[in-house]
Amino acid sequence: ALQTLSPGGTLIFKLFTIFEHSTVCLLYLINHLFKEVNIYKPVTSRQGNSEVYAICLRYKDNINLDEYIPILKSMYGTELYSKTALFPLEAIPESFLKQVEECAYYFSSVQCHVINNNLQAYLMQKNIALHRDMKKIRG
């Protein structure tokens, strides 16, 4: 996808986890290629799943992809979640890692909240059904 973008272009792609080193490395690379990158969860996406989207705005025009593409292909091939990190941990600034951590925490806390609410609703339905059945037995 990067090879087809024009300067100033936009790239949107789906992520399922922010907790993997490959995702952190990919986000770090993308932050170098675009002037702005936002992580977003659309309202149409189920709140209980971990799906989020990276919205990359204003593709930089002075980027030579020839140096990145072979590295990406050798590290990941067609598999994004490789066992090998694209960048060593010490190459990624602490401030960037902190932003990724805050982002991951935010989306995971929203997901946990929704899952908890769903579980409570399920248990409440079971409890209501149990009381209804007990009334039938007594009645």
Say what the pTM is.
Answer: 0.70
Q: In what order do the strands lie in the sheet with 34-40?
A: 11-15, 52-59, 34-40
What pLDDT score was predicted for residue 81? 55
Q: pLDDT tens digits, residue range 79-102?
A: 655 567 788 889 999 999 999 999
Gap between the Cα atoms of 23 and 50, Å rounded: 13
The mean per-residue pLDDT over the stretch 15-42 comes to: 88
Q: What is the mean pLDDT of residues 51-70?
A: 84
Predicted pLDDT at 37: 96
